[in-house]
Amino acid sequence: MIAWDGTNITIQEGNIDGKTNTFQEAKTDWQTKTYTLAQLNSIYKGVVFANPK
């Protein structure tokens, strides 16, 4: 997670194709996305934070 504004969570995703890639290929997988907590839980099926507040 790179940001939380109280409603939205901004994360950076990588290796979303599930393959072992070269660094050049892996850079194309890197994406920054913003979700609500409900959306994130729906996508990742039960998010657990290491430092919950």
For residue 6, give Cα distances in angstroms to 10, 20, 32, 35, 36.
11, 35, 18, 11, 9
Q: How confident is the model over 44-49, as a mean pLDDT? A: 76
This prediction's pTM: 0.60
pLDDT band of 53, cuts 50, 70, 90: low
Per-residue pLDDT reduced to its tens digit, 4-42: 898 999 988 877 666 787 888 877 777 899 999 889 888
